[in-house]
Structure 1
Amino acid sequence: MNIDSHQHYWDPSRGDYGWLKPDMKPLYRIFGPDDLAPLRDAVGVQKTVVVQAAPTVDETRYLLDLARRDDSIAGVVGWVPLDSPDAAKIIDELAREPKFKAVRPMLQDLPDDTWIEHAPRKDAIERLIEHDLAFDALIFARHVPSLIRFVERYPALRVVVDHGAKPPIRDGVDGGWQPWADGIAQLAALPQRLFCKLSGLATEAKENWTDETLKPYVAHLIEHFGAARLMWGSDWPVLDLNGSYTGWHSTAKNLTSHLEKAEQDAIFGANARAFYRL
């Protein structure tokens, strides 16, 4: 089964997407399963994992409601206030939903780059582990040291790094390769065997990117995480700012075409299914 491990649905009228502004015209509208269906069909994706885009529990409930009504949504990555005394209780509540699979604090947007190593409550993270829920890490290279400390503290927690840790591709290999490349190597070497999403790269590139633009970054992710720990995701509809669903899927296929078929199948579906318990 082909699975998109990272995409979004939203309704701006809900009012809790702080980053989504009216001047972002390609994105400032409702996006739902009916919008994605023809794009999925075009590339043969049967199921998706929908990921939170607002730091509210209400948005997570909104996504879970969509998931109950649409079979193409295999799982939901939601948001929980992990630093709140109510966090464990909220996780217990959400865990009753069969399609609730993981949580994602929006680390890239927090003013404190070290938040993840000291703010989440121990009982909340332990509850994630007890419910066999995963953790999506939305980070840049500057967050790597703190994420490593967090992961080492909770070795039983399943963690996936979103968007390949968002390399600054627009700066080119000469200007933006480090410290991203070393950060990827450090994360991939952890004994906890973190996973990583092959997603979000187009958004970090300049306009008119090509396969060759993204090739060194994809190759670096494959070198360190291997086909067994990478999962393809579209990051749609954010992807529409600098690419297309079919275009990014084609590029990802081309840049992994040297792998064995079983390895390609893992990246484009099997790994997401196993990691998120779909």
Structure 2
Amino acid sequence: MRIDSHFHLWRPARGDYGWLTPAAGILHRDYEPEDFAPLLATHGIDAAILVQAAPSLAETEFLLAHAGRHPWIAGVVGWTDLAAEDAPARIAALAGTPGLLGLRPMLQDLDDPAWILGDAVRPALRAMASHGLVFDALVRAAQLPAIRVLAARHPDLSIVLDHFGKPWIGDAPGGEWMDAISALADAPNVTVKLSGLLTEAPAGTDAAALAPYFDHVASRFGAGRILWGSDWPVLTLAGSYADWLAISDALLAPFGGGARKAILGANAARIYRI
């Protein structure tokens, strides 16, 4: 089973996407299941995980409704206010909702890189772990050390690092990012999504340019702790679904069939309990 572990759907008119303005260009329009399903069929992808893009419970309910109507949506990574006093109760209720796989606070947009380590969110994180929900970490490279502390503090919480931690893609990986990835790899409850790299890179970036970044992650995490995802439709700012699949295939070429199957689907099924 091949699973795209990261895609989005949205309707800007819903009004809770603070970042989704006309300045976002081609992203500032509706993206519906009917736009995405043909890509999966064309490229032999069996299912996909729908990820939140707005910090609101209303959007999570909107995404869960999509999942209920489309069997190829394997589940939803939603949102709730982890700092709310009633967060544990909200999480318990969400965990009982069919299709809810995990939660994602939009940490990359916060001024405090260590917000997730505050006392106010600890009860929510414990509740997530106890209900088997995955924590998707949407962070920039400078926030990676906080995720390492988070992983040590909550060893029973499954943490998935989105988009390789958003390294700046240049001539070679930066030492700070490499060190932070190595430290994260020491935490057995952390896995990494091979996703979102083209939109962090200069135009025209190819597999050869991304190989040093992928090779470092693969050498530290191994094939059993990497999940493939597209980050569609954000991906379309930098390339097509076919482009990203071709680059991914080139990056995975050194792996055997079992390892490729793990990265392209089996790991997502295991980690998100699909």
TM range (shorter): over 0.9
SS of the aligned residue for 2:175 comes to coil
Q: Deviations over 1:114-150 (max 9, x none)?
A: 1011154332112111211110011122112211221
Q: In the alignment, what sits opposite 1:53?
A: 53
Alignment partner, residue 224 of structure 1: 220
- Tell me the SS of whatever aligns to 1:179: helix
Q: Does 1:172 align with 2:168?
A: no
Match of 1:262 in 2: 258
In the TM superposition, 1:1-278 aligns within 5 A as 1-169=1-169, 171-173=170-172, 177-190=174-187, 192-278=188-274
The amino acid of 1:20's aligned partner reads L
Distance 1:150 1:119 in 2: 12
Q: In 1, are the aligned partners of 2:83 and 2:120 still within 8 Å (CA)?
A: yes
Cα-to-partner distance string for 1:203-255 (whole Å, 9 max, x where unaligned) = 11111111111111111111111100000000000000011111101110111
Q: Contact 1:231–1:272 (CA<8 Å) still a contact in 2? A: yes
Judge which range, 90-99 or 261-270, deviates more: 90-99
Paired with 2:122 and 2:198, the residues of 1 have a C-alpha distance of 35
Query: Counterpart amino acid of 2:246?
Result: S
| CA distance, structure 2, for counterparts of residue 259 and residue 4 of structure 1 | 19
Is the 1:42–1:246 Cα contact (8 Å) retained in structure 2?
no
Three-state SS of the structure 1 residue aligned to 2:264 is helix
RMSD: 1.1
Between 193-202 and 85-94, report the one with greater CA deviation: 85-94
Question: Structure 1 pair 142/69, CA: closer, same or farther in 2 (3 Å)?
Answer: same
Deviations 1:49-78 (A, max 9, x none): 010000111111110011001111101001
Q: Percent identity?
A: 44
Equivalent-residue separation in structure 1 for 2:103 and 2:241 (angstroms): 24
What count of residue pairs does the alignment treat as equivalent? 274
Distance in 2 between the 1:72 and 1:275 partners? 18
CA contact (8 A) 1:46 1:72 kept: yes
Q: Partners in 1 of 2:52 and 2:251 — Cα distance?
A: 28
Letter in 1 for 2:64: L
TM-score by length of 1: 0.96
With over 3 angstroms needed to count, the CA separation of the structure-2 counterparts of 1:48 and 1:119, relative to structure 1, is: farther
Q: Which amino acid aligns with 1:172?
A: D
2:156–2:189 CA contact under 8 A, matched in 1? no
TM-score, normalised via structure 2 length? 0.97
5+ residue gaps, structure 2: none
1:45 counterpart letter in structure 2: I
Kept in 1: contact 2:157–2:189 (CA 8 A):
no
Q: What are structure 1's unaligned runs of at least 5 residues?
A: none
Given that residues 64 and 100 in structure 1 are in contact (C-alpha distance below 8 angstroms), is that contact kept between their aligned partners in structure 2?
A: yes
Q: Please, which moves more after superposition, 266-275 or 137-146?
A: 137-146
Deviations 1:155-176 (A, max 9, x none): 100111000001100x331xx5
Pair 120,45 (structure 1): closer, same or farther in 2 beyond 3 Å = farther
Structure 2: how far apart are the matches of 1:34 and 1:119? Answer: 42
